[in-house]
């Protein structure tokens, strides 16, 4: 038998040298696994974003509530912009009056989802009101309320704690419910009844004073009548303000005169009572508002100093009468009317159709031998006409033959 030499040498072993293509693909896979793959231009994060800590938390008592304000963070701790507003977590604690230093226990009392944060923002500032039961304020009078805030852009990690804001809280006077506004020529006069109890119903010492706030509002159906009496009470938060509420000034009595107003504008007024507790003072909640649109229904004063001079006829002009009087002192005067009569006891007929802009008038329509009585009135920019001035009577002499 013929023996043939076989070419079989047993199982072949794969070369141990790495395949270049496999190495390239494996590198890409590892990079994606470590860094996360995203579309070109999209930012990628290895960790959940953490907002910067709030550093300007402030707290103040307004009526039966503590109002918190702070600037909402816009960046992460890595100085990257947050994609959307973070959720807000508000913590609160209480240190009773007279309690010594110790560990403060704070608990989460409010969580505002990021989707609702915009409703609390104004000019980049977050404002939140924490209402407190009046009975709790009475029981905790002089104690310290302490607040801290965190924000959260992801469930896994919250920001660091904000600064701590602490304030002493006290019972406050009940809100004023009968604020009245009356328009006069030179002021809008406010008046109200002093409160006698706190919001918890306990007797109240006379308030240390009052603070009056004013805002300009859109003129509309809610405006007061032209007499200037206050409009029906409304919730201030539901009134469309053209300007924010600003402090006009304090007063020790239950009256106030606003002399810095303009006719035709619509104003909203509120008053807050001030209660004094040793070195601390606290304001009540806003009173029910008074809304008023002052109308100028006040005529100027009658002109003074009216004089009449007869100018004899000349070859160039007939006889006539020159009138002059003192200029009106009102800042809103618009002009004058001149009246003439041949009966001293009647006002007679108005001589000028258009308002005179100067305190002088020349009457060229007189006749020799007649007596004329003149009176003058002033008119303001609102169209209000003053009473007639004192009368002057002159006689035009007969012409010489």
Asked whether residue 30 carries a pLDDT value surpassing 70, the answer given is no
- For 239, the domain range is 180-292
* Residue 276, CA distances (Å) to 15, 130, 316 in order: 92, 22, 82
Query: Do 192 and 164 share a domain, yes or no?
Result: no
Lowest-confidence range among 213-222, 228-237, 309-318?
228-237
For residue 111, the cross-strand partners are: 89
- The CATH number linked to 311 is 2.60.40.10
Per-residue confidence band for 262, with pLDDT thresholds at 50, 70 and 90: very high
Arithmetic mean of pLDDT, 251-264: 96
Q: What angle do CA 225, 227, 228 make, to 5 degrees?
A: 75
Asked whether residue 287 carries a pLDDT value surpassing 60, the answer given is yes
The total number of structural domains in the chain stands at: 3
Asked if residue 135 is part of any domain, the answer here is yes
Asked if residue 32 is part of any domain, the answer here is no
- The CATH number linked to 112 is 2.60.40
Per-residue confidence band for 221, with pLDDT thresholds at 50, 70 and 90: very low
Asked if residue 19 is part of any domain, the answer here is no
Query: Do 200 and 163 share a domain, yes or no?
Result: no
pLDDT of 224: 45
Query: Do 123 and 220 share a domain, yes or no?
Result: no
Q: What strands lie across the sheet with 180-183, from one edge to the other?
A: 180-183, 188-191, 255-258
How does pLDDT run across 157-202, given as a tens digit for each residue? 999 999 999 999 999 999 999 999 999 999 999 999 999 999 999 9
- The whole-angstrom distance between residue 366's C-alpha and the CA centroid of its chain comes to 60
Arithmetic mean of pLDDT, 345-356: 95
Asked whether residue 131 carries a pLDDT value surpassing 50, the answer given is yes
Query: Do 284 and 201 share a domain, yes or no?
Result: yes
Query: Do 288 and 184 share a domain, yes or no?
Result: yes
Is-contact 54 158, C-beta < 8 A? no
Q: What strands lie across the sheet with 307-311, from one edge to the other?
A: 307-311, 320-324, 360-363
Residue 94: CB atoms within 10 A of its CB come to: 16
Query: Do 70 and 119 share a domain, yes or no?
Result: yes
pLDDT of 46: 62
pLDDT of 240: 83
pLDDT of 12: 42
pLDDT of 6: 40
Query: Do 245 and 268 share a domain, yes or no?
Result: yes
pLDDT of 234: 57
Query: Do 115 and 209 share a domain, yes or no?
Result: no
Q: What is the DSSP letter of 120?
A: G
Query: Do 185 and 287 share a domain, yes or no?
Result: yes
Asked whether residue 401 carries a pLDDT value surpassing 80, the answer given is no
How does pLDDT run across 223-234, given as a tens digit for each residue? 443 333 444 445
**Phi/psi of residue 107, each to 5°?**
-130, 155
pLDDT of 231: 46
Asked if residue 360 is part of any domain, the answer here is yes
Per-residue confidence band for 218, with pLDDT thresholds at 50, 70 and 90: confident
Is-contact 335 294, C-beta < 8 A? no
Asked if residue 115 is part of any domain, the answer here is yes
Residue 298: CB atoms within 10 A of its CB come to: 15
Burial of 9 (0-12, 13-18, 19+ CB in 10 A): exposed
What is the SS3 assignment for 127-162? EEEEECCHHHHHHCCCCEEEEEEEEECCCCCCCCCC
Rounded CA separation 10/7 (Å): 9
| Mean confidence (pLDDT) of the chain | 87
Asked if residue 10 is part of any domain, the answer here is no
**Phi/psi of residue 145, each to 5°?**
-95, 130
How does pLDDT run across 102-120, given as a tens digit for each residue? 678 899 999 999 999 999 9
Query: Do 195 and 261 share a domain, yes or no?
Result: yes
Asked whether residue 36 carries a pLDDT value surpassing 50, the answer given is no
- The whole-angstrom distance between residue 348's C-alpha and the CA centroid of its chain comes to 51
Is-contact 130 71, C-beta < 8 A? no
pLDDT of 276: 93
For residue 166, the cross-strand partners are: 146
Arithmetic mean of pLDDT, 199-212: 93
Query: Do 284 and 353 share a domain, yes or no?
Result: no
Domain finish residue from 292, 317, 339 = 292
Query: Do 280 and 229 share a domain, yes or no?
Result: yes
Asked if residue 300 is part of any domain, the answer here is no
pTM attached to this predicted model: 0.74
Max Cα-Cα span within the chain: 182
Asked if residue 400 is part of any domain, the answer here is no
pLDDT of 195: 96
How does pLDDT run across 324-343, given as a tens digit for each residue? 999 999 999 999 999 999 99
Block residue for tokens 């109200």:
192
Arithmetic mean of pLDDT, 254-261: 97
Task: Give the three-class secondary structure for 238.
Answer: helix
């Amino acid at each position: 038998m013929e023996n043939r030499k076989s070419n079989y040498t047993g199982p072949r072993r794969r070369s141990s040298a790495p395949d270049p293509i496999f190495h390239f693909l494996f590198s890409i896979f590892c990079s994606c696994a470590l860094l996360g793959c995203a579309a070109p231009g999209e930012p990628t994060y290895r960790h959940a974003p953490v907002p910067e800590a709030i550093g300007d938390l402030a707290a103040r008592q307004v009526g039966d509530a503590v109002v918190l304000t702070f600037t909402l963070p816009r960046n992460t701790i890595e100085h990257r912009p947050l994609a959307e507003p973070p959720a807000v977590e508000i913590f609160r604690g209480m240190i009773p009056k007279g309690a010594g230093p110790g560990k403060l226990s704070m608990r989460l009392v409010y969580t505002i989802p990021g989707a609702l944060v915009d409703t609390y923002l104004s000019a980049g500032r977050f404002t939140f009101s924490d209402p407190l039961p009046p009975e709790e304020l009475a029981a905790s009078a002089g104690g310290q309320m302490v607040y801290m805030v965190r924000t959260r852009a992801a469930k896994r990690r919250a920001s660091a704690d904000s600064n701590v804001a602490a304030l002493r809280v006290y019972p406050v006077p009940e809100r004023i419910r009968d604020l009245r506004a009356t328009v006069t020529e030179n002021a809008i006069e406010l008046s109200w009844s002093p409160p006698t109890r706190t919001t918890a119903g306990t007797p109240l010492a006379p308030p240390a004073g009052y603070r009056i706030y004013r805002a300009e509002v859109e003129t509309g159906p809610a405006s007061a009548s032209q007499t200037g009496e206050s409009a029906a009470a409304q919730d201030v938060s539901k009134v469309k303000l053209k300007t924010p509420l600003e402090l006009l000034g304090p007063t020790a009595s239950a009256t106030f005169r606003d002399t810095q107003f303009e006719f035709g504008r619509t104003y909203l007024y509120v008053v807050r009572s001030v209660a004094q507790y040793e070195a601390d003072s606290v304001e009540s909640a806003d009173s029910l508002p008074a809304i008023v649109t002052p109308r100028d229904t006040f005529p100027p004063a009658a002109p003074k100093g009216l004089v009449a001079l007869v100018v004899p006829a000349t070859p160039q002009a007939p006889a006539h009468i020159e009138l002059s009087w003192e200029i009106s002192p009102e800042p809103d005067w618009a002009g004058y009317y001149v009246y003439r009569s041949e009966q001293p006891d009647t006002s007679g007929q108005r001589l000028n159709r258009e308002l005179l802009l100067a305190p002088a008038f020349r009457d060229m329509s007189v006749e020799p031998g007649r007596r004329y009585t003149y009176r003058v009135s002033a008119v303001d920019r609102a169209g209000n006409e003053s009473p007639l001035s004192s009368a002057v009577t002159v006689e035009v002499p007969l012409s010489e033959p």
